[in-house]
Structure formats: structure tokens, C-alpha cells
Structure 1
Amino acid sequence: MHLSAAEGLPVRHAVPALRAALDEHGAAVLAAPPGTGKTTLVPLALAGLALAQGQGAPPAPGKVLVLEPRRLAARAAARRMAWLLGERPGGRVGVTVRGETRPGSRVEVVTTGVVLQRLQSDPELDGVGTVILDECHERHLDADTALAFLLDVRAALRPDLRVVAASATAETAPWSRLLGGAPVVETAAALHPVETVWAPPPRPLPPPHGMRVDPGFLAHVAATARRALAERDGDVLCFLPGVGEIARVAGLLSGAPAEVLQIHGQAPGCVQDEVLAPASRRRIVLATSVAESSLTVPGVRAVVDSGLAREPRTDHARGLGSLTTVRASRATADQRAGRAGREAPGTVYRCWTQAEHDRLPARPRPEIELADLAGFALQAACWGDPGASGLALLDPPPPAAMDAARGVLHALGALRDGRATDRGRRLARVGLHPRLARALLDGAPRVGARDAAQIVALLSEPPPRAAGDDLTAVWRALRGRSRPADPHAARWRDEAARLRRSLPAQGGAPPSRSDDHAAGVVVALAFPERVARARRGSGYLMASGTGAELADGSALAGARPGWLAVAAADRPAGAASARVRQAVVIDEEVARSAAAPLVETAEEVVWRDGDVAARRVERLGAIELEARPLRDPDPGLVRAALLDGVRAEGLGLLRWTPGAVALRERLAFLRGALGEPWPAVDDAALLERAPEWLAGARRRADLAKVDVAGLLRGLLPWDLAKRLEEYAPERVEVPSGSRIRVDYSGERPVLAVKVQELFGWDAAPRLAGGRVPLVVHLLSPAGRPAAVTADLASFWREGYRAVRAELRGRYPRHPWPEDPASAVATKRTGRASGS
């Protein structure tokens, strides 16, 4: 036994207080920084396998269940605890993850996904006495859900069940409140001092965009790793956002005076074992976030932090999900830095500036705010709380994301009237996203259990991007690879075997016409809204209504297939179309069959190309399959289409006679001058009344027959109609006897008339019941503007003299009296005295 290697860890001092808290309250929060032993020593101590002697404490009743957010961490924790006992996993300490079951008699380490399945089938957790939720601060969605379910179990079924929320951070108050005011037990940090070296790139580089990280930045990270190796003793642990970046930096470190290892969720078990074991030579370990808190990499004295992390992003409206590269939070940076001080004083090289560090978010966002919630919503519905409103969660699920998730589940037949159906429970038992579970259960009878299981296994853990975007070709290649040669192939075979075992016994598999047919059926069953048809010109249209493009160099682009079943796609920031990551070539028959719930026939009466178009249309989602003219469309639909046309193209579709235009201008003037009850006649107001005006119209040509002037007069009740001519006369009689039209098109009404016709007129009439003066535009005998006034008496006294001096020589045949106020108005030419 090697327990002496663990019983000296700092967490040993907290075990008595933790036991006392569990004895008294049944729940506790354990705050223990990385390296203190919370993951390995605490479970053994609570199970009575360590620290019991000499402390007079009996083991807690029942098995200790340890929940880890990742398979890699679960396996590593189980191996470490079994090693401390001088055993292998499967004895007193066991491990259960997807595809691997070796339950232990006293301690069992499981992933949160596994425990959710177990809780659904055995909510009382028979035989389990204590549950430790490790790394709860990481806020994984499955972990949050599992804790909520466990608290329900404690409240309703198992008040004796003990629950420990173990966090590597000091932010414990929210967890204590969630556990009903549970005591907080703290452990002093075991960390040695860690020096911070700010190591930004020598010149500014473009920030991450989607999944793309600038190659120049990765070269800088590799150079910083070489620098750390040269300046510090021991091993170097380098944090990068994903597998692709790890592979690129590993290539850049070729020839470094150290062994380069890569650790991530897809790494084979032998590599994981090598990373977690002491080494005889120096190493550079390139890791994703899996090494932040739940794994101890021995020998590390320096950490190189790229400062980048990956977060999920979900476009709920289009059914597209992807990962995006973001700046890591300050809490994450602290976790990473702490790995350098686990065993001795260390150094962290941060590839950014201190000023940038101060602007980082304090902590990462919880996954429940970012992820596709279909799986969560199904778990909650099977638990009996479809809205998740009664679950004890630190953060509630976003309403829009839950609505989208429930929509997906209803389409899959997993929910009915908000409750989980028998089919929904079957989907939940598969242990996959509900879409993939549906593809497995419905695909097996169509293409055979073996093919359905293999394709769904491929969808559940996508291959590296270098494998290409032709999913059928990737599938064929995997079938031909041996287990030892390719870790991804080995994991794929194991998962395919597990999924095939989960299927009910069926008869002989139907003959599959081709690999493309089998893969296309399964992919389309999983993602029916991503079935896509080629557009004229270029690109594709998915059933969801989103455009899609094949990537440059696509293996699918050569033949430009007419139809695709899209397995993976994302929508880059700012892009109009989605980008196809992986797809299968299919035909229309497969599209119609697999995406049958999206196929519908409807009478479509719409405004298109400037007129009403009436058709009977068959669609697969947004994809138009077939259309035929509709001879006798519903009048209500026709009216709605005409209304859409008028709203889209404006009231100019109606025939506006000069009289109708003038009447609208007069009414607009009165509305502006007097307000209610004079009716509004602006575009918005008239469009509101458009449905009344379009009765009987069936096409664009009918709009030209509408009596617009009559409709405008119809807006006036009888009392206003009587006052219209008085308040806003169409014409005004001037002293010469002429009846001049008033122009209401501007801000104020205007009377444009020749000077000679106004002699003897000292004031123009006021409109709108005397509230608005009529503006007079005085014209020359040729009809050109000579003066503007709203006060004729003042003009005759002060302005007329200048106009007379300028114009009488030019128009000598017209009268230009010296006293226009007393002269006789005329509309004829002729000499007059004083001219």
C-alpha cells in the first residue's frame, strides 16, 4: 500500500470537520485548492480506507460515489486511489464511465453523465451512502443537474444520503446556500509560491475568431514553452484551447530537448497514464482544460498559459451548435497557474499583459447559459419537472433556450403536453443527446443495427477535422483501421459496440443500398432541419432556412451533389451562411423519408414579383419541393397577400388621381393644424385601413380601380365633411374674380397668384377656422415668383415698391399702380394710369 504518499496531504486536517458536518447536517461544502488531496484522499477517508486509524472515526455507511465532470479525470482519480491501496481499479475502488464499468466495493468514481442515468433508473441510489461532487466550481451542465437531482433525492427519498460539494475555489457561499445552509469546510492551500512572468507576443496579433487561432500566436506559445524549459527546472505544462492547437504546437516543438506529450479528452489511455506518472526525463505536456484542476501532472515546475479556452455557442433558431475560442477568465488563469506550485516553487508564463489580465472576466460562464439544452430538458422531464422550475440550480436555464429544447423534444416524440413520453424515456436511457438517440433507435430498423450504431458513434465523437468533410469516407476509413493504430478508431469501435448492445433485439438487418444511403438516413434522422438542397448558382439551403456553403477544398464539392445530410455545421461570426463541416451525399428520397415530419403541403398565396402568386406548394421545411398553380385561392389569403404587397411596395400601388392627391394634402393639413378629430392620412394610418379598401381585389391590376378620393372622403364623418371646404378650401376667389387652387403640399398652405389680380386686397383669408394664415406667392405676369408674404397690407406698404421698380419696365403692358391697395384688380393686360 502507498497510503503514506497521500496521508500527508493538507486535506487530512479537514477530514474530521468534514465528517462532523456530514454527521450533523448530511451535507457539506469542501473548499480545497488543487493539490490538497480532495479528489483522492477524502473519498478513501470517508469510506474508512484511510485516516480512520487513530482518529476514532468509523467509516460512513454505504459506498462513496465520486462524481467527476470528465472521463479522463474519473479514470485518473480511480487509478490513483486504487494505487494508494495497492490495487487496480475494480477492487475496493472502481470506475464507471461510458464504455467502461468496473464498480468498486467501497468507492466508485463515475462521470456526471453516468450518474444522471443511474438516478433516472434508481433514484434512491441503493447501496450508496455518500456522494462527492468533485470540481463543482467548473459549472458543467451535467454536474449542476446531478446535484439538483441529488438534493431532490435527499429531500424526498433519502434524507440519510450524504452530499459533499467539493470545489477548488474559495467561492463557497452559493454552494452552501444551495445545500440548505450546509457547513463549509476549508483546507489551506498546498501550493508553493508561483512567480508570474508576463510573456505577451512581441507584436500585436489578431484575436481568436470562432475556432481559428492565429498561427503566429501558436508559434509564440511554442517559443514560450522552449523559453520556460530553458529558464526553469522540471517539466513544463502548457495550456491550449483544443486538440488542433495542441497538435500544431507539438509540431513546432519538434527537436526540443524534452519529450512532448499531448493530453486531452481524446488522448489514448496509454498516453494519459504516461502523463500522470513520474518521468525519468524532462517533458513538455500540452494540455486542454482537462489538466486545470482535476488531474495532477507530476514534475511540473513551469506552466505556459495561452490564456485561451473553448466555450459552446448555440444558435437555437437554426439548430446550429459550435465551439468558440474565448479569453480564459481570471479564475481559470489562477487554476492553471497553481499547477506550477503543486510540488515545489514554480513559475507561470502568461502569454498576455498584466493590463489585459485585469480586464478578463472574473470567472467562466456556467455551461447552462451557453449550451444546447435538449438533453437537460429531457432529463428534467424524465425526472418529473419538465420546466426545471423546481430544481435547485445556481443559475436557471435561459427561457429561450428551454423553449427551443422543448421544441426539439416535441418533434422527436420525447415530450407530449410537456411531459416525458415512453419514447422520451427510451431516448434518455441511451446516454446520448436526444437527437442521436433518436437516430439510433429509428435508424436501426431502416439501415441495420450495426450501421446505425457505427454512424451514431461517429456523430457522438466527431473525428479530427483533418479527416475531411465527407462523413461516409470517414466511416469507411474507420472500419478499415486496427484498434492500436488509431486511438479515435478504438474509441469509436468501443462506443459503436456499446450502442449496438443498447438496442432492442431485432430481426435481420435490412439490406443497405450503399454506405451513403445508410449514413444519410441516420444523419438526417438526427438532424432533419439540416437536410440541404443545392441552390441555383452556388451553395445550399437547409430545411431550417439557413444557407450553407461547403468549405474550400471540400471532398464533396467536386460532384456538387443535389442533396446533403449535414452532420456538423457552424455559422462563423458575421457570415450570412453556415459552413458545412461534415455531411453525407443523399438523394431526395432519403431526404423526404428521414425528414418526413418536416414535409408539408400548403396553399400559398403571397405577394411575389409585384403581384399575387397563388400556388399549392410542397416543402421540406424551407426547401420548396414542388409547386403548382392554385386556381381558386381563398379570398382571405388573397386579401392578405395584397395587403403584404401594399405594405412592401407602398401606397403607390393605388391610382392616385390629382384630385385624390389634393384631398389627401388638405386632410393632412387639417390634421396637423387641428389634430383630432380630423383623421390621420399618413402612410402608416392609411395602411392600417388598407384591409377595408382591398375588398374584392384579387390582383395588382384591381388596385388601380380603387376610388382613393372616395375612400378618403369616407374617413370624414358628416360634420367634418361639411366643414372641409370652409377650413381647407380647394380654391380661393381673389379680387380679380379668379378662383385659384390652394397648394397644401408644403408645411403651410400656399396661394400662388399674379400681383395684378390682388390689387385692392388687404388680407388673404385665414384657414383652419382662422388659425393658419394663407401664404401668398405673388407672381410676375410671366408666372415667375416675385415676392412671398403672409401679410398683404404690409407688402403693399413696404415691399411692393421694389417689385414695381424691378418689373414694370419688363412688363410695360401690365398695370403697375403707385397705390395698389386702392387699385382695381385685373387679370387682363393693358395700360393703366400711374404705370
Structure 2
Amino acid sequence: MNPAWLDLPVRGAVPELRRALDRRGTAVLAAPPGTGKTTLVPLVLAGLVPEAGLDAETGSPRRVLVAEPRRLAVRAAARRMAWLLREPVGERVGFTVRGERKAGPRTVVEVVTTGVLLQRLQRDQELAGVETVVLDECHERHLDADTALAFLLDVRATLRPDLQVLCASATSDTDAWARLLGGAGQIPAPVVESEGIQHPVEVVWSPPSRPVRAPEGLRVDPALLDHVAATVRRALREREGDVLCFLPGAGEIGRVAEMLAGLRDSVDVLQLHGRAESAVQEAALSSGARRRVVLSTSVAESSLTVPGVRSVVDCGLAREPRTDHSRGLATLVTVRASLATGRQRAGRAGREAPGTVYRCWAQFEDARARAMPTPEIMQADLTSFALQAACWGSPGARGLALLDLPPDGAMAAARDVLTALGAVDAEGRVTKRGVSINRTGLHPRLGRALLDGAALVGARQAAELVALLSEEPPRALGDDLAAVHRAAAAGHSIYAAHWRDEVRRLLGHIESAGNDRSAVSRAAAGGLVVGLAFPERIARARASTGSAKPEPGARASYLMASGTAADTAPGSALSGAEWIAVAIADRPAGSPAARVQLAAVLDEATARRCAPPLFTDREEVRWAVPAGSRRGEVAARRVQSLGAIELTTKPLAAPAPALLRAALLEGLATETVSELLTWPAEATALRQRLAFLHRVLGQPWPQVDDQALLARADQWLEPELSRARRRADLERIPTTTALTRLLPWTGGAAGRLDELAPERITVPSGSRIRVDYSADRPVLAVKIQELFGWDAAPQLADGRVTLTIHLLSPAGRPAAITSDLASFWRDGYRAVRADLRGRYPRHPWPEDPTAAQPTRRLNHRK
């Protein structure tokens, strides 16, 4: 027995942990990184090492499954536990990741990824022979881990109440886990805490000296990476020991490694991420003879212990999944790391001795940072999760014990995809096909491409292509899937080795598939497989709608079947192709188009074969505005489309009446009722009178603004609308007659229109003057002499509105405005008379207009 386990801090918490599990069956272990929770605790629970205070192993071995969120952490944990037992991996401690297993008949503790655990639960819900399951790093809130815990709690409640479940967290935020493990309405599960040996860590704020652009999508400002590299050099100068530097992804790690190339004579620069070669991973997780700089993704935040570290350089960024459900694009994006993540990273500097964390941002920026990372279930593509839940017998995740419920929109999008794949039925229940897809261990889209593609291009060809899509190739291999395929097949890199392992695994799922290679040419195989997986990402070059075709090597713009634009990079080998199927793309913030990262060439026939549900042959009748014109017209055509991609178009001579009517209504909405229809003065006046009555009296008088008239078009524009075929027909509709159809004839109110809102008013001179209803208040404009003897303005709308009088000079120019004629004759008329009588001497200007005779004529000459 290796005595190193005696020094692990978690050892003192083990007895309490064993009692909690024996008493309740569930528990939460809160222990900082480096305490031994990942390595010592499983060995103790399995009975392979003695508990604290005992000198020998006790009891018969008990099988323990340990689930880790990452393959790198799985291998590292298994190696560390085997080292503690002084055994090779594969004896009493083994591991399984997708495509690789090192375990044997003596294996008692097996470390697996959470994805592998889910597959085992689907095959054997009881987990026969397993006594304890440890879900490690549950605080990271990976979707697979949340799902596995929900399934395990279901198993405990229905099949295996004896199955022990332990959630291990590197943080102390354990209340929610305890409540979940305790069960609905039950006492929370016990929480056992282990204090780590945490030495003080000095925080050095080291913001860049010049402004740095915020990350967009996967793009990180090179200026920040320059600053990170400079900060690593500073840490090497100012502090002893190794330096652990956190960066968001493998690409940024590679670029910073290049910037530090000059240090390699005296310092080992190691790149630690999921794609790193095993020798590099071993070197990063072991003490070295020389000083080391370990450039790492988030994998080293809590899952792994990197010995010898005295300084941490934190770039302040992290990668999180995002899904654009409307465009069918799921990708990773670079975001500001949470405060909790920052604490986790800083703590790595104080594991073995006092240390220092260099934070590459200003302290005030923490005020805008999130407290905790966002759970993956709240922002990821939920298609795999939804299929797992359906296979478990919980369609829509109903009844599963989850810390956070999945968003309704994301679940609806996932169900749509699964329905299109034939993986679930109309009620969301899993189908036999769905079970087969889920057993591949792939995303359901790729599972469908593997199973269906094998029958079209052969089992090996399908497995090789799907393996390229399931293990994203290095960007350096380019964006043409065919070229990437050739490079992987001929290569000897760590990626090529992983790819071959995945091909062998996938072949095991399609051994019985047919080999009908005649269905598609070998050259088009990649496009077919990608198209089967992502039919909405089949794309056609925009230039193909005309005579020009995209030039090879130039940037090309494509339209995907989903309706999203997609651009290739300059120099892309794909750019000369008319049709491509996009496997990987992202969409930069603020950009209208996606960026193609990996795609395959295909032809139109293959495109149609991949996506039959997207093919439509329809009559399309719409209101269109020709280029260079402001006047729209009905456009009718027959269109064959693959989603948003138009394949063929032909003019349509006799469109269906319903489609034609909808197009005309679209025109009325686009160009407005007021602009598209013809409104003579009589129609305009009637519309204004109705608007006045609706405004003052309300119902039953109709609203007649553009939106209201459009909404009631079937009432007032019939039968003319049914007979209309084009713009000119709308323009000929007699709007005066049409408007009368909206009058409230029922009940008789329409008969009072002239009483409530008269078109004309008879004034004392006998003239019938038109009332202007265009303003908020109706106006009567009349010459002063025609109103002599009139002592009050008329009232409209049952006396609710007094008519506004615009008193005009003999020349028809405004002289005064009033709604109170009596007051005007008494107080205002004298000033108007004095001003106008000299200019218009031939018109009567009596001193008492209330007693004068109204007239339309001039005075007789003497």
C-alpha cells in the first residue's frame, strides 16, 4: 500500500462520510481540489484502503463507479488511484471512456465519463453489481452529470433503494444538492465537509496596458493573448515554482505556447487540454525536473491536480455552449468567467505552499461578472438530453429530479429535431429507431447519419465520416471534410489515433448495415453524411441563382436551407462548389451570416435525398416590390424549394383564390389602405366623419384607421376584393360605396349619420357649407356676412361637440376662430370690422351683426 494516501486531507472526513451513506444512502461531499476526494474516497468506499484510524483493509471489496465530466480527468483519476495501490491501471482500478476501456475481472473501482454512465444506465437501469456511484465535480453543472443524477435518484426510488449515491463538489455551495438527494418533502441528504490545506494566495491585478476587445464567438483579441504571455514571463521572474495559466480553449493555448517558445531552453511549456497527447498529459500531471508552464483549459480548475504550481495566470475567459435554435446552430462561445470560476483557478496556486494569482483584468470588472457559471442545461442544445429522457421513459423530462428545469423553448426545439429523425413519436415517446440512435453514444443527429448513411455509402465509409464529425478535427486541417478525411486516414497524430479508435467503436453499431454504395458516388459521400445529420444546413451558393458561379479559393456566400446565410473563409477549397453541407459553423455576434468551419461538397440530387421533409413544391403568391420601384404588385409563381433554397421557379397563370386574396391583403398591409386604394374627396370625407363619431361616441360607429380597415377587409371590400387580381383592381374599388358597408345598419344608428355628423351645415345666408372633419374637432369655414343673426354655433354628436367656426374675410381668408358666436359678436367682431371694412367697402359691416340680414352678396352701388 502506498503511504501517500495517509497525507490526503479528506482522510479525516471519511468515517463521517461512510456513516452518512450507510444511514441515508445519499450524501454530499464538499472538499476543495487536492484533498483526495476524487482518489482516496472511492478507494475507501470500495474497501481497498483502510479508513482513518485502521491499519488494514476492511470487509470484502464493493464495486464503485466514479463519474467524471471529462475524459482527461477520467484517465488521470484512474492513474492516481492505481498509483496509490501500487498497481497498473486495469487491475483493481480501471477506466472507461468512449472508445477506450482498461478494466478487467478484478476491477473494483471504475472511473467513467458521465456520458458512459448514462449509456450504462440505459442498458441496465439497476446497475447490477454496483454498490456506490460517485458523481465527481458536480458543481460544474455539466448536463450529462445532471441527467445521470436524475436517473440515479429514479433508480433508488423505484429499483435499487440500496444503491448509494455520492455527489462530490469542490465548492461549499451544497444546499441545493442536499435537498435534491434528500428527495421531495424529505430531510436533505447529509453534507460532509473536508477542509483542504489551502495556503494563502496573493492576488495581483494585472490588466492589459491598452484596450482589449471583448470576445466575439470563439474569437479572442490577440492583444489579450500577448498580455497573457507577458504575464506568464512576469510570474516566472517574480515567483518560484511552476506556473499554471488558464485559457479558454486549445486554439488560444497553442498561440500563447508559440509566444513562449523562447523560454523552452530553461522552462518546459506544456499544453493541457482534451486533445493533448497522453505523454503531455502525463508530464503536466507529474512533477518535473525543470520549471514548467502549464497552459490549460478549464480542465485544471478542479478535476485535475497539477503539482508544483506556485503561480496562476488567469486570462479571465471561459467557454460555454450556446444554441441558436432558429438557425440550428450550436457552438461554443467565449465569455467572461464567473467569480466562482476565478476563485477555483486562484486556489490552484495555494495547494502546496503560499502562492500568487495574476488576474489579467482590472479589479473593478468583477462587479459586472456573474457569481456562478450558468448551468449547461439552461443554454445548451438539449436534443441529446431529450432523447436520453425519452429512452428513460420520461418524455419531455417529466418527473426527473433536476436542479434546474430545462427551458421550454429549447425542449420544443429538441423535440422537433427528434421527431424529424424518427427518434420519438407524436407524443414524444421513444421509438425503436430512437433507441438505436441513442445506443451509438453520439448526438442524435450523428447517430441518424451513421445508421442511415451506412446503407448508402457503406458501413466503414459512414463510420469514418461520422467519426470526423463527432471528434471535431483540428482547424489546421482546413474546412473541406474530404481533405480532412484524407489527412486523418494518412496521419499519425494523436487526433488520427483517436479518430481510428472512434471508427472501430462506431463499426460495432452498424455491423448489420447494408453496403449499397451504388446509391451515391464516393465523392459525394461526405456531403450525404453531413446532410443526413444536418439537413437544414445544406447550402447553395448565392451566385448560383444567376449565370455566375463562385470562384475557387474566393470567399463565397451560401444560403442554408434554414434560411441563414453562411460564408466560407478566404482561400477555402469549398468556395468553388455550388452545393455544400455545413457540418460546423458559428455565427459571430452582430453578424448576419454564419462562418463555415467544416463542410462537405455535394450535388443537388444528394441534397434532395438527404432532406426529403424540407422539399416543397408549392404555389407562391405574394405582394412583391420590384427592384427600383416603390409600387408593389402581385407576383404568382410555382416554386420548388429545399427549405429556404429555391430550386426552380415558373410563372403561375391561375393562382388559387385564397393565395391571391392573401397576397392582395399583404399589399394593403405593406403599402397601407390609405395609399393603395383610391380615395376621392367624397370617400375621404365619409371616412373622416366616421372617425369623428368613433372617437366621440365609440360603438357602434366603426374605427376606420388603416389597421382597422385592413382587419375588416372581408366586410367592407367585398365583393370587389374577391374579384381583384392585381394592383389596378384594388385601385378601382369604389371606396365611398365600400365604406357604407361599415355603417351600423343593425339597430338603425346608420340612419342618424347626417344628424350626428352632417356632411354640410345650412347657415343663415342659406348656403350649405361642407364641414371639415379632418382635424380633432370639426370645422365650418364660412364668410362672416353669411352668419349675421346666428347667435350660437351648431352642436354635433348629440350635443357633445360644438362646431368650431372659422370666420372668413370676403376674400376667403381666416379672420377669426370661435366656438362661441355670441361672445365673438359681442367682444371680437368690432376689432375684425375695423380691420376689414376699409379693405372690403362693398361688403356689409353692420354695427350690430346679430340683427343684420345675412348675405352672400355685395352692397349695391349708390
TM class, shorter-length? over 0.9
- Give the aligned partner of residue 54 of structure 2: 54
Question: Aligned with 1:322: secondary structure?
Answer: strand
CA distance in 1, matches of 2:842, 2:479: 90
Q: CA deviation at 1:781?
A: 2.1
- Give the aligned partner of residue 618 of structure 1: 640
Contact 1:78–1:93 (CA under 8 A) maintained in structure 2: yes
Contact 2:580–2:599 (CA under 8 A) maintained in structure 1: yes
2:178 to 176, 179, 194: 176
Deviates further, 279-288 or 15-24:
15-24
- Give the aligned partner of residue 447 of structure 1: 457
Deviates further, 232-241 or 695-704:
695-704
Deviates further, 414-423 or 704-713:
704-713
CA distance in 2, matches of 1:588, 1:556: 16
1:606 to 616, 622, 629: 622
One-letter amino acid of the counterpart of residue 429, structure 1: R
Residue 209, structure 1, aligned to residue 216, structure 2: yes
Question: Aligned with 1:617: secondary structure?
Answer: strand
Q: Structure 2 matches for 1:187-586, cutoff 5 A?
A: 187-256=194-263, 257-417=266-426, 418-481=428-491, 483=492, 486-508=493-515, 510=517, 516-536=523-543, 539-557=557-575, 559=576, 561-586=577-602
1:636 to 644, 653, 658: 658
The CA deviation string for residues 174-211 of structure 1, in whole angstroms up to 9 with x for no partner, is 11111112211111112222221121122332222221
Contact 1:697–1:703 (CA under 8 A) maintained in structure 2: no
Question: Aligned with 2:723: secondary structure?
Answer: coil
- Give the aligned partner of residue 744 of structure 2: 716
Q: CA deviation at 1:677?
A: 2.7
Structure 2 stretches lacking a partner, 5+ long: 183-187, 547-555, 626-631
Question: Aligned with 2:7: secondary structure?
Answer: coil
Q: Structure 2 matches for 1:656-805, cutoff 5 A?
A: 656-692=679-715, 693-695=717-719, 696-699=722-725, 700-714=727-741, 715-717=743-745, 719-805=748-834
Deviates further, 601-610 or 242-251:
601-610
| Pairs aligned (count) | 827
The CA deviation string for residues 64-93 of structure 1, in whole angstroms up to 9 with x for no partner, is 111010000000000111111121111111
Q: CA deviation at 1:56?
A: 7.7
One-letter amino acid of the counterpart of residue 634, structure 2: V
Residue 80, structure 1, aligned to residue 80, structure 2: yes
Contact 1:47–1:59 (CA under 8 A) maintained in structure 2: no
Q: CA deviation at 1:809?
A: 3.0
One-letter amino acid of the counterpart of residue 803, structure 2: L
Q: CA deviation at 1:513?
A: 6.5
- Give the aligned partner of residue 147 of structure 1: 149
Using a 3 Å threshold, how does the CA distance of structure 1 residues 832 and 768 change in structure 2: closer, same or farther?
farther
1:646 to 661, 668, 681: 668
The CA deviation string for residues 500-538 of structure 1, in whole angstroms up to 9 with x for no partner, is 232123454615865540110011111000111122487
Q: CA deviation at 1:801?
A: 2.7
Contact 2:243–2:310 (CA under 8 A) maintained in structure 1: yes
Contact 1:516–1:584 (CA under 8 A) maintained in structure 2: no
One-letter amino acid of the counterpart of residue 716, structure 1: P
Using a 3 Å threshold, how does the CA distance of structure 1 residues 61 and 390 change in structure 2: closer, same or farther?
farther
Using a 3 Å threshold, how does the CA distance of structure 1 residues 57 and 262 change in structure 2: closer, same or farther?
closer
Contact 2:98–2:116 (CA under 8 A) maintained in structure 1: yes
Using a 3 Å threshold, how does the CA distance of structure 1 residues 588 and 459 change in structure 2: closer, same or farther?
same
Contact 1:544–1:621 (CA under 8 A) maintained in structure 2: yes
Question: Aligned with 2:678: secondary structure?
Answer: coil
One-letter amino acid of the counterpart of residue 63, structure 1: R
Question: Aligned with 1:416: secondary structure?
Answer: coil
Structure 1 stretches lacking a partner, 5+ long: none
- Give the aligned partner of residue 18 of structure 2: 19
- Give the aligned partner of residue 550 of structure 2: none
The CA deviation string for residues 577-611 of structure 1, in whole angstroms up to 9 with x for no partner, is 22222222222111111112211223333333333
Contact 2:30–2:168 (CA under 8 A) maintained in structure 1: yes
Contact 2:808–2:816 (CA under 8 A) maintained in structure 1: yes
Using a 3 Å threshold, how does the CA distance of structure 1 residues 56 and 491 change in structure 2: closer, same or farther?
closer
- Give the aligned partner of residue 118 of structure 2: 116
The CA deviation string for residues 402-448 of structure 1, in whole angstroms up to 9 with x for no partner, is 00001000000000121100100000000110001111111111112
One-letter amino acid of the counterpart of residue 621, structure 2: V
Question: Aligned with 2:506: secondary structure?
Answer: helix
Question: Aligned with 2:501: secondary structure?
Answer: helix
CA distance in 2, matches of 1:442, 1:400: 28
Residue 63, structure 1, aligned to residue 81, structure 2: no
Deviates further, 7-16 or 283-292:
7-16
Deviates further, 810-819 or 120-129:
810-819
One-letter amino acid of the counterpart of residue 551, structure 1: A
CA distance in 2, matches of 1:61, 1:603: 71
Deviates further, 521-530 or 464-473:
464-473
CA distance in 2, matches of 1:512, 1:636: 41
TM-score of the superposition, structure 1-length normalised?
A: 0.96
Q: CA deviation at 1:115?
A: 0.9
Contact 2:455–2:515 (CA under 8 A) maintained in structure 1: no
Q: CA deviation at 1:60?
A: 7.0
Using a 3 Å threshold, how does the CA distance of structure 1 residues 694 and 320 change in structure 2: closer, same or farther?
farther
Contact 1:713–1:721 (CA under 8 A) maintained in structure 2: no
Q: CA deviation at 1:697?
A: 2.8
Question: Aligned with 1:387: secondary structure?
Answer: helix
One-letter amino acid of the counterpart of residue 811, structure 2: A
Using a 3 Å threshold, how does the CA distance of structure 1 residues 627 and 295 change in structure 2: closer, same or farther?
same
Q: CA deviation at 1:812?
A: 3.0
Contact 2:47–2:62 (CA under 8 A) maintained in structure 1: no
CA distance in 1, matches of 2:78, 2:469: 28
One-letter amino acid of the counterpart of residue 232, structure 2: A
Q: Structure 2 matches for 1:4-43, cutoff 5 A?
A: 4-43=3-42
Q: Aligned residues: percent identity?
A: 65
TM-score of the superposition, structure 2-length normalised?
A: 0.93
Contact 1:12–1:51 (CA under 8 A) maintained in structure 2: no
Using a 3 Å threshold, how does the CA distance of structure 1 residues 580 and 694 change in structure 2: closer, same or farther?
farther
CA distance in 1, matches of 2:58, 2:152: 24
Deviates further, 52-61 or 219-228:
52-61
Question: Aligned with 2:374: secondary structure?
Answer: coil
Contact 2:241–2:308 (CA under 8 A) maintained in structure 1: yes
Deviates further, 546-555 or 217-226:
546-555
Deviates further, 43-52 or 33-42:
43-52
Deviates further, 179-188 or 818-827:
818-827
Deviates further, 765-774 or 633-642:
633-642
CA distance in 2, matches of 1:281, 1:648: 73
One-letter amino acid of the counterpart of residue 434, structure 2: G
One-letter amino acid of the counterpart of residue 817, structure 2: V
Contact 1:259–1:283 (CA under 8 A) maintained in structure 2: yes
